[in-house]
Structure 1
Amino acid sequence: MSFLARAGRVVTDVRPLRESPAYRRLWFGQTISQFGQQMTVIAIAFQVYDLTQSSFKVGLVGLCGLVPLVLGGLYGGALVDAFDRRLVALWSAVGLWICSGVLVAQAYAEIDSVGLLYVLVGLQAVFFAVNNPARSAMLPRLLPAEQLPAANALGMASFNLGFTVGPLLGGVIIGWRGVDVAYTLDALTFGAAFYSLIRLPPMPPAHTGRQAPGLRSVVEGLRFLAAAPNLRMTFIVDLCAMVFAQPRALFPALAITVYAGSASTLGLLQAAPAIGSLIAFSVSGSIGRVRRQGVAIVVAIAVYGAAVAATGFSAIGLPGVLWLGVTCLALSGAADMVSASYRSTILQTAAPDELRGRLQGVFIVVVAGGPRLGDFLIGSIAAATNEEWAMIIGGALCLAGLATAVILQRRFLAYDARDPEP
């Protein structure tokens, strides 16, 4: 096999972008809007820390969005299964845009209310929990099954490109002009997401006799999940990583105390996992050829937990050495990209279409709600110890939880993408 042929098997698989104009518009629109959204994430964390000087209060930002995210995700998934997925995504995007506008207004008005920021985070969580399942449930309608692993890797790259550029640019902008300009740029870039959704074709429910969204519809999805061990395991192992070892609430304090930095240092720490994810994405051409996807997920999460713990050890052993902490965080991001791509693929291929929206709703509760709960947990650990030990303890808890889950559900290691079983 020639060098070019071998390289082609390793570099990124971009067939979904090349072969599906609708997916291409969706991907580019989401990528552009991610820049602004991640500026808002860092701006809210910076504003809360600036007002309170407390990592615990920054951790509460995640907790304030947790309950709205759970309720919005479960009910939002039922909406996705009952109505046109494109329209559900559009209307929830309108809600997100309104929240962005209120953040702009409070910043320029210098309201300086942590309570208002918490409320807006909760509202954003509700709309996000509806919007994201709708977008994810669209992919099997836009692409053939064999391209879904590549599409999910591209989706992670989109998120992490925004997670890299957004915090870095946001840190510079906050230090230069303040949080009000960062919030404004978020509101402006959100227009790209609207354009991509407007151009999509209608996506009404494919099945007949659809059930109206409500408690009974939500319970039906949860009942299916209870009898689907492989799908359930993808959620459990991700919770081990995101609840126990999500370090982002510690970044403001780490930037100022351990690394003696500023808002720009905070932006670099926030972007480091995404940088690692993008590096992993650049050599993800073989991701669609891996069949033992359960094994791949377990290995990736083990690497993630070890990398977060290593970040804490580096901060203790070599305080002030920013590049070492950034490298460890980048490794955690690379591992998370691999895990997320396969977890999304298992959900999209093993779940029936008529339940896909509700299961995507549960998925977003886990992948977005887990880190919010993790923000609170690791902020609490940091309050009892310090930021460095909080990462070490969190990484150890992640590995212990993962080992326990695998021992209790060993069948997950035998999952084969050629015969996807829920």
Structure 2
Amino acid sequence: MSQEPVEAAEQAVEEGGRKSWVIDVRPLRGVAYRRMWIGNGVSYFGFQFTSVAVPVEMFSITHSSAWVGLLGIAGLVPLLVFGLWGGAAADVVDRRKLLLASSTLAWLSTVGLLVQALLGVRSGVLLLVLTAVQSAGFAVSSPTRQAIIPRLVPAALVPAANTLSYTTTTAGGVLGPLAAGLIFGAWSTGTGVTIAYAVDAALFTISFWAAYKLPPIPPMHDDGGTAKPTAGLRGIVDGLRFLVTQPVLLLSFAVDIVAMVFAMPRALFPEIAEDRFGGGSAVGWLFAAIALGSVVGGLTSGWIGRVRRQGVALVLAVVGWGVAVGFAGLASSLWLMVLLLAVGGAADLVSAVYRQSILQVYAPDRLRGRLQGVFTVVVAGGPRLGDLRAGATADLTGPTASWAGGGFAAAGLAVVLALAFPALVKYRPPAGTEANS
């Protein structure tokens, strides 16, 4: 792989800059990272139309939040299988080629959603199947994409690069659901989901462009040599064997699972929007609120790379997320609920950046794909389990108890984990990886 993208970013590190709360944009000086950043941001904006349309369509077919929650399981099973395998494959094949192949699978599933909407199939089972296929593509592409980032920027700019990526995708997470909400407010559910799927399928092509323009990214030993293929069970086991010896990584995964399984209220948005706020564009605001807070948090994130007690910051962010979500579940005003979800979203961005940065700095390149595969299973699987938990408990206790109780439980459990296993709160990044800002 050419060293030009990394050299450009290293020059950005050397140039440094004054301390600021404004988001650090130095990684964008690398052409390869900049292309991937643009492609991911645009395609993620398009994906948000589907992420709103699928649960809305499912609820319109079944009139059950439990069925909406099942979408989480449909996405989780492929994540467990293909997330681990995709991470192992990212360590033994050219990561650019693997990203192109997995993105193609995800795009085909979106086309399938569009076709079933055009035909008016109205099958909850088919929605589950297509969600599973889409999840399989994501399970491979996500660890591959994240394993690429440390090959494009120097270690000192990894937190800044992750912050830029998260901020841009969450900006799409704001604008996409809001646009989807306008669609559902202007058209019937059937027409709205068709338009939403069509937008996603069209914008996904930008992601293909970004992946195609990347330089070759072959697997490398830590000493710079080409790695021999070890995909499959043996490669996965090698990554897991390394992981179980790293308590900091295990604990960072654990607090994220707690945060998402107990405090993710996404499966309740269609029901709450309809019953509490009269439906229409309210569902778009709910789906956008968390991402809106993440964008604001990202735009004021210049401090993130300067924090040395990253483990403490991670735990505090998870606690903040849980508390904000808990109070949001009790809100009777749409705008108060959106505001509290946005506060939670800002906290979630901080925790996401530190989780990703800790892993990317900890992991040697020869294992980075496999560990990113585990990371993908945890980070993407947690919200899907959260969907199942929220939907199932809402049918038993009501949506308010399911939502608010889960948020406060997540905050409490995060504190318990941090106190019981202090390795994470003691963590500081290795010397020489802090940003000069």
Q: TM-score, normalized by length of structure 1?
A: 0.95
Partner Cα distance (2:295, 2:334) in 1: 20
Does the 8 Å contact 1:39/1:166 carry over to 2? yes
Task: Return the match for 1:20 from 30, 34, 40.
Answer: 30
Partner Cα distance (2:330, 2:107) in 1: 40
Match of 1:131 in 2: 141
Residue identity matched to 1:146: A
Match of 2:315 in 1: 298
Partner Cα distance (1:77, 1:129) in 2: 9
Deviation at 1:83, TM superposition (A): 0.4
Q: 1:62-108: CA deviations, max 9, x gaps?
A: 11111111101000001000100111100001111111111111110
Match of 1:270 in 2: 287
Partner Cα distance (1:6, 1:205) in 2: 33
Partner Cα distance (1:49, 1:63) in 2: 16
Task: Check if 1:163 corresponds to 2:173.
Answer: yes
Deviation at 1:209, TM superposition (A): 4.2
Q: Could you say if the C-alpha distance between residues 331 and 6 of structure 1 is closer, same or farther in structure 2, counting changes exceeding 3 Å?
A: farther
Deviation at 1:253, TM superposition (A): 0.6
Q: Could you say if the C-alpha distance between residues 227 and 121 of structure 1 is closer, same or farther in structure 2, counting changes exceeding 3 Å?
A: same
Residue identity matched to 1:261: G
Alignment map for 1:214-253 (pairs within 5 Å): 214-253=232-271
Structure 1: runs of 5 or more not aligned: none
SS in 2 for 1:65: helix
Residue identity matched to 2:385: L
Partner Cα distance (2:246, 2:136) in 1: 26
Does the 8 Å contact 2:94/2:217 carry over to 1? yes
Match of 2:88 in 1: 78
Does the 8 Å contact 2:170/2:295 carry over to 1? yes
Percentage of pairs with the same residue? 46
Alignment map for 1:73-222 (pairs within 5 Å): 73-175=83-185, 176=187, 177-207=191-221, 208-222=226-240
Q: 1:38-79: CA deviations, max 9, x gaps?
A: 100100010000011111111111111111111010000010
Partner Cα distance (1:209, 1:84) in 2: 11
Partner Cα distance (1:298, 1:210) in 2: 38
Partner Cα distance (1:359, 1:50) in 2: 38
Match of 2:385 in 1: 373
SS in 2 for 1:402: helix
Match of 2:10 in 1: none
Deviation at 1:407, TM superposition (A): 2.3
Task: Check if 1:9 corresponds to 2:20.
Answer: yes
Q: TM-score, normalized by length of structure 2?
A: 0.91
Residue identity matched to 1:187: A
Match of 1:258 in 2: 276
Task: Return the match for 1:307 from 321, 324, 335.
Answer: 324
Does the 8 Å contact 1:174/1:182 carry over to 2? no
SS in 1 for 2:423: helix
Partner Cα distance (2:431, 2:410) in 1: 29
Partner Cα distance (2:247, 2:426) in 1: 12
Alignment map for 1:326-405 (pairs within 5 Å): 326-405=338-417
Residue identity matched to 1:336: D
SS in 1 for 2:388: helix
Q: Aligned-residue CA RMSD in angstroms?
A: 1.6
SS in 1 for 2:139: helix
Q: 1:170-192: CA deviations, max 9, x gaps?
A: 12123324211110110000010
209-218 vs 156-165, greater mean Cα deviation: 209-218
Q: 1:122-145: CA deviations, max 9, x gaps?
A: 111111010011110001110011
Does the 8 Å contact 2:107/2:134 carry over to 1? no
Residue identity matched to 2:57: Q
Alignment map for 1:405-420 (pairs within 5 Å): 405-419=417-431
Does the 8 Å contact 1:243/1:370 carry over to 2? yes
Does the 8 Å contact 2:86/2:373 carry over to 1? yes
328-337 vs 387-396, greater mean Cα deviation: 387-396
Does the 8 Å contact 2:96/2:211 carry over to 1? yes
Does the 8 Å contact 2:319/2:412 carry over to 1? no
Does the 8 Å contact 2:220/2:227 carry over to 1? no
Residue identity matched to 2:74: C
Residue identity matched to 1:23: Y
Does the 8 Å contact 2:93/2:229 carry over to 1? no
Partner Cα distance (2:160, 2:384) in 1: 27
239-248 vs 396-405, greater mean Cα deviation: 396-405
Partner Cα distance (2:24, 2:163) in 1: 9
Does the 8 Å contact 1:34/1:159 carry over to 2? yes
Does the 8 Å contact 1:346/1:420 carry over to 2? no
Residue identity matched to 1:114: G
Task: Name the count of aligned residue pairs.
Answer: 410
Q: 1:8-49: CA deviations, max 9, x gaps?
A: 6111111111x1011111001111111110100100010000
Residue identity matched to 1:289: R
Residue identity matched to 2:345: G
Deviation at 1:420, TM superposition (A): 9.4
Partner Cα distance (1:15, 1:296) in 2: 23
